[in-house]
Amino acid sequence: MEAAPSHAMPVAPPVHIAIIMDGNGRWAKARGLPRTAGHKRGAEAVRRTVEAAREMGVSYLTLYGFSSENWKRPEGEVTDLMGLLRLYLRNEVKHLHKNGIRLKVIGDRQRLGADIVRLIEDAEAKTSGNTALTLVLALSYGGRQELVDAARKLARDVAEGRLSPEAIDEDAVGARLYTTGIPDPDLIIRTSGEQRISNFLLWQGAYAELVFIETLWPEFGRAELESAIHEFHGRDRRYGAAR
């Protein structure tokens, strides 16, 4: 998909855009660089994309930063990724706060280092009152595990008499997901040409429009975001209804 010119971007962007950031390793390999270099450039793409989303008026931006399956990567790469995460949380929070951006992190925090969890909690608390954009980082996140956790919460509520089995509906499930209080994504973008959702927002993305682009994540920016939004506005969203 070629990037559409800036002037072609529709005036109103989707309320919630989610992105599967893919291609850091391939970007680095193509240049004879270590994977770490790709991840560092990917972090720069995060800043560009967050700034562009805020300027366009996007209300929610969810970025798939580190999946539950990513723990299986080589130990050195995981260590480097956690180091980059620490740097991001230390260096970017002031920038986010200054620009009115609220940060929320979803995923299994038990597998993250205690210092990272503290940085996340501090960042969420500091930016909690901001309204320009909500940036959701999915870290140590897996869609299936999220559904398992929601099922456990429902089971506990039923067992302890707070909920009847007959009262379990879609709203009850949604209220127990990591994303409670956040609208479902309208648009899910995946970079690098891969065409799968890789255990990302399985429940929430049921009716999201999917846009797959060839651009590797380190090269992603405003033009690619505008192009995906342009394609989104060309879709006929019927939510299962007949034409």
Q: Does domain 14-233 have CATH number 3.90.600.10?
A: no
Domain ranges of the chain: 14-233
Cβ contacts of residue 37 below 8 Å, gap of 6+?
28, 31
Q: What pTM was computed for the model?
A: 0.92
d(C-alpha 20, C-alpha 155), whole Å: 31
- Determine whether the annotation assigns residue 100 to a binding site: no
pLDDT tens readout for residues 164-223: 999 999 999 999 999 999 999 999 999 999 999 999 999 999 999 999 999 999 999 999
pLDDT at 4 over 60: no
> Is 122 one of the annotated active-site residues of the chain?
no
Q: Which of 22, 80, 184, 186 is catalytic?
A: 22
- Determine whether the annotation assigns residue 22 to a binding site: yes
pLDDT at 9 over 80: no
- Determine whether the annotation assigns residue 27 to a binding site: yes
pLDDT of residue 97: 97
> Is 22 one of the annotated active-site residues of the chain?
yes
pLDDT of residue 10: 47
